Amino acid sequence: MIVCSCTVISDRDIETALVEILSRPNAPIPTPGVIFRHLSKRMNCCGCAPLAVETIYNKVDEVERRGLVPSNVCAATRSKLLEFSAWRSRLRGTTTKITDTARQDRARKVA
C-alpha cells in the first residue's frame, strides 16, 4: 500500500526502515520524519503524516510478531511513541487520540 504518494513510500518501505532503525543500539523514536530521512526522502505536503503514524504503530507490532525486532525493543518503542504523541498533544492543546495499537498496548500492561 502506498503511504505517501508524493515520495512514493509504501508500507513495505516503512517496515524495512523500521527494522533497520530499531536494530541499531539506542534507536531513535521512529517518527515519520525519522523514517523519511532514513529512506532519504522528504515530506512534501505532509498529508500522509496521519497515515504514516498509523502505519508505523501497526508495523511495530507486525515486526515484533514476526520476530524481526526483539519484543523489548518494540515495547520500548511503543512506549516512546505514546509519550511523544502525548507531548505533542499538550503542545498543541489537544487531547491525545489513542489508536487501536495504543489500546492493545495498555491492555497488555494490565494483563
Tell me the per-residue pLDDT of 2-33, one tens digit each, with 9 for 90 and over: 999 999 999 999 999 999 999 998 889 899 99
- How many structural domains does the chain have? 1
Q: Which residues of 14-52 are buried (b: 16+ CB within 10 A; e: fewer)?
A: bbbbbeebbeeeebebbbbebbbebbebebeeeebbeeb
State the residue range of the domain holding 19: 2-110
The continuous run of DSSP H or E covering 10 comes out as strand 9-10
Which residue stretches of the chain have pLDDT < 50?
Answer: 96
What does the pLDDT read at residue 42?
Answer: 92
**Rounded to two decimals, what is the model's pTM?**
0.74
